[in-house]
Amino acid sequence: MTNFSYIPVYALRFMIAYFIVTNAAAMILFPGGTLFNPDLNSYSFSGNFFSDLGITFTRDGTQNFLSSFLFNSSLLIMGLCAVSHVFVPNLFRENKKTYVISVIASILLVISGISFIGVGLTPADIYFEEHVWFVILAFNAQTVGIFFMTIAFLLSKISNRYTIVAFIYFINVALYTIFETSEPPPDFNPFELENVGEFIDYNRFTISVVWQKIITVISMISILIFTFGYKKLLND
């Protein structure tokens, strides 16, 4: 097997480490404030989306340079590392069907990764409509991509534990995507409103924010486990 086939293993592991470290630092450096509580002086687990770390100014007008730089750089790294999925189909050449399925999965996961770069390039407080569009594209492409990757693992010769992990990952990200797209996104920028509570349901908002954190943890753990599966395919 060509040495290039090791790229996704190490690229994805680097992506996970970089994402965790930079976003932890971004949360610490975040000046604070949520849509419903602009006066909060820290990052809120239940009140701030991850992408709030990337806004240019907080709700009270405080500049957010350091936090936004770290967060947006993590999405850039995520997108660049996602491109390494182009090498993944080489690991599934044992039969034509598995190979074709892995190609489809890889293309969709690359699209998802590039879309996350778009999320970072469109801060929600300035380009809200474009930001939401990239978020929706990223999660939809990821959902379908993981579905095909689940099938590729199922048809491959490695342990079914990777198929189980992929299936759990798929179910969770699919449910989250369905939840997020079950209502049309607002046709206004909530960061520009004073009375957000009159236009956005607080309970639904909180569920979305917390669920996003859970999905991120599931995604990071699943992708890390995938890298061991990829390495197993390489070694075999």
**Residues 57-84: pLDDT tens digits?**
988 889 999 999 999 999 999 999 999 9
What are the contacts of 130-139 at 24+ separation with CB within 8 A? 131/51, 132/185, 135/51, 135/180, 136/180, 136/181, 136/185, 137/111, 137/112, 138/112, 138/113, 139/112, 139/173, 139/176, 139/177, 139/180
Q: What is the pLDDT of residue 3?
A: 65
Q: What is the pLDDT of residue 1?
A: 52
Q: What is the pLDDT of residue 200?
A: 87
Structure tokens at 120: 């970072």
> Model-level pTM?
0.91
Parts of the chain with a pLDDT under 70:
1-4
Q: What is the pLDDT of residue 2?
A: 53
